[in-house]
């Protein structure tokens, strides 16, 4: 909760004027909470991390390609995504 918030309130957040504007492609399930980063690159930006060890940054004001993508896997150093079976206790 942000006690200094002045735009989002019960009047402005309702079914008639608030909802999903865009969807963005990422390479796997997003298990982390999206992180909003104000003032990054002169745009409203948010980042998401996927189960495939990639972090994406998107412009929150429009749809389109990511601003940047960072892949944290490194096969040489044996840094790989956690297998889905380790998370769900099931195989695919």
Residues 75-87 have a mean pLDDT of: 82
Q: Is 11 inside a domain boundary?
A: no
Q: Compute the distance between CA of residue 74 and CA of residue 46 in angstroms, rounded to an integer.
A: 24
Residue range(s) defining the domain that contains residue 71: 35-88
Which of 12-16, 23-27, 69-73 has the weakest average pLDDT? 12-16
Q: Which of 80, 89, 48, 42 is nearest to 61 (CA)?
A: 42
Q: How many domains does the chain have?
A: 1
Confidence of residue 55 (pLDDT cuts 50, 70, 90): very high
């Amino acid at each position: 909760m942000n006690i200094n918030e002045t735009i989002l309130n019960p009047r402005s957040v309702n079914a008639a004027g608030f909802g999903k504007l865009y969807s963005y492609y990422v390479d796997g399930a997003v298990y982390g909470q999206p992180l909003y980063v104000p003032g990054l690159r002169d745009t409203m930006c948010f980042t998401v991390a996927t189960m495939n060890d990639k972090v994406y940054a998107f412009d929150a004001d429009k749809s389109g390609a990511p601003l940047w993508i960072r892949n944290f896997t490194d096969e040489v150093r044996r840094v790989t995504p956690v297998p889905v079976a380790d998370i769900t206790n099931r195989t695919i």
